[in-house]
Amino acid sequence: MVWNWPWKRDGGSVVPERKSGTGFVALHATGEAHWTRRDYAALAREGFMKNPVAHRAVRLIAETAAAIPWLLYESGAELDAHPLLDLMERPNQRQAGASFLETLYGHLLLSGNAYVERVEAGETARELHLLRPDRVTVVTDAAGWPSALEHREGSTKRRVALGASALHLSLFHPLDDHYGFAPLEAALMALDIHNAAGRWNKALLDNSARPSGALVYAPKEGGNLSDEQFDRLKAELEDGYSGAARAGRPLLLEGGLDWKAMGLTPKDMDFMEAKNGAARDIALAFGVPPMLLGIPGDNTYANYQEANRAFYRMTVLPLVARTARELSAWLSPAFGQGLALWYDADQIEALAADRDALWARIGAAGFLTDDEKREAVGYGQTA
């Protein structure tokens, strides 16, 4: 930046203009905003690990979706027992089915991608393992189609064939052919605003819950502070007047010193409203009604139960259905054709009112036979 200062010319040389007296000029400008990086590690650290709204939204979706029971159908008939159901109940020795799916959904929400590897140890011994998204790279063939996954662990690299041994689940990304788009990326600006507002409030409390100010030295006889006086004054302020433990302590000023507070009005710096607005944007990106996260100022739904039903219908069930279809298409060839995984909606307590209304409508339909009624509500015909 070039500043147009006034100059005087003396014999062809440029001499800066000097004025008598003492004082200083402070120049202030709005700085460039700093945003969180869009890689998996940064989103996980700044979002899930540091932001309570993003943390709760991810856990709420992942834990709710992982708790929904699975069903298995073969040619339209429900199976009570099958090796595929056993595998989904215990994918590997370290994780039960709910823990495995919770991690899978968490990867999808934080990175837009989830990678599952199938390990074969025989015809009946199979395990499913999740690969951390930031350690996986999609490998393409000469035509640009994904063909394998390259997994890195330290200095070790290995390739896993897509389809045969690995499954890549991804959320829609409009600008990338091979990787998914994380919901948290869409709320990145709101995430940084929410985190910055929290850091501001913490810093304000650490500094006696007061805005910053300036000590102005303006003695009647003129002059400036010496370096020794300046250093002593700075040390006294830091040691005696900063920190929450010293809140409210009066400031003792010597001759020529005057305290000038530099702060904006609460209307100009309404951080609570800024935090709540940013929190609503984060919840919107994940598809969680703000009411379920305890965010004030949201009256979209009449009550908590209606918000909970909307959460299941618009966020949880589509995610579970998408995962069920992907796992079915990937695992069916290994266990036999015609198998299809699905979720058991009858076990979801939050949708009991919707289920009762459906049964009442179907039960009142006198033009349907009993078998047709059973089929309409998702049950097979009587034997």
pLDDT at 23 over 80: no
pLDDT at 22 over 60: no
149 with 165: CB under 8 angstroms?
A: no
**Residue-number span of the structural domain to which 223 is assigned:** 216-262
Torsion of CA 372, 373, 378, 381, to 10 degrees: -50
The answer as to whether 17 is a domain residue is no
- Exposure string of 314-337, with b = 16+ CB inside 10 Å and e = fewer, is ebbbebbeebbebbbebbbeebee
Q: Choose between 180 and 298: higher pLDDT.
A: 180
The answer as to whether 7 is a domain residue is no
Q: Are residues 281 and 166 in the same domain?
A: yes
Q: Are residues 84 and 167 in the same domain?
A: yes
Question: Which of 262, 294, 321 is at the close of a domain?
Answer: 262
Q: Are residues 199 and 224 in the same domain?
A: no
Q: Are residues 135 and 258 in the same domain?
A: no
pLDDT band at 25 (very low <50, low <70, confident <90, very high): very low
Q: Are residues 170 and 241 in the same domain?
A: no
Q: What pLDDT was estimated at residue 193?
A: 84
The answer as to whether 79 is a domain residue is yes
pLDDT at 4 over 70: no
Q: Are residues 193 and 324 in the same domain?
A: yes
Q: Are residues 199 and 221 in the same domain?
A: no
The answer as to whether 14 is a domain residue is no
Q: Are residues 142 and 223 in the same domain?
A: no
Q: What is the DSSP letter of 312?
A: I
Q: What is the pLDDT of residues 106-127, one digit of tens each?
A: 999 999 999 999 998 766 668 9
Q: Are residues 308 and 192 in the same domain?
A: yes
Cα 373 to chain centroid, rounded: 43
The answer as to whether 282 is a domain residue is yes
234 with 33: CB under 8 angstroms?
A: no
pLDDT band at 135 (very low <50, low <70, confident <90, very high): very high
Mean pLDDT of 77-85: 89
Spatial separation of the C-alpha atoms in residues 351 and 353, rounded to whole Å: 5
Report the first-to-last Cα separation within the chain, whole angstroms.
84
Q: Are residues 289 and 156 in the same domain?
A: yes
Spatial separation of the C-alpha atoms in residues 293 and 281, rounded to whole Å: 12
Q: Are residues 199 and 232 in the same domain?
A: no
pTM of the model: 0.74
Q: Are residues 309 and 180 in the same domain?
A: yes
- Tally of structural domains, the chain: 3
Q: What pLDDT was estimated at residue 361?
A: 79
Q: Alpha helix locations (H) across the chain?
A: 40-43, 52-66, 83-89, 97-111, 183-186, 188-206, 227-240, 271-286, 304-311, 317-335, 352-363, 370-376
Q: What is the mean pLDDT of the chain?
A: 79
Q: Which residue's structure tokens are 């350690």?
A: 135
CA distances from 59 to 112, 170, 194 (A): 15, 19, 18
Question: Which of 201, 233, 262 is at the close of a domain?
Answer: 262
CA distances from 1 to 14, 26, 186 (A): 20, 16, 33
**Residue 42 phi, psi dihedral angles, 5° rounding:** -70, -40
146 with 72: CB under 8 angstroms?
A: no
| Least confident residue range of 41-50, 229-238, 318-327 | 229-238
The answer as to whether 115 is a domain residue is yes
Mean pLDDT of 218-241: 67
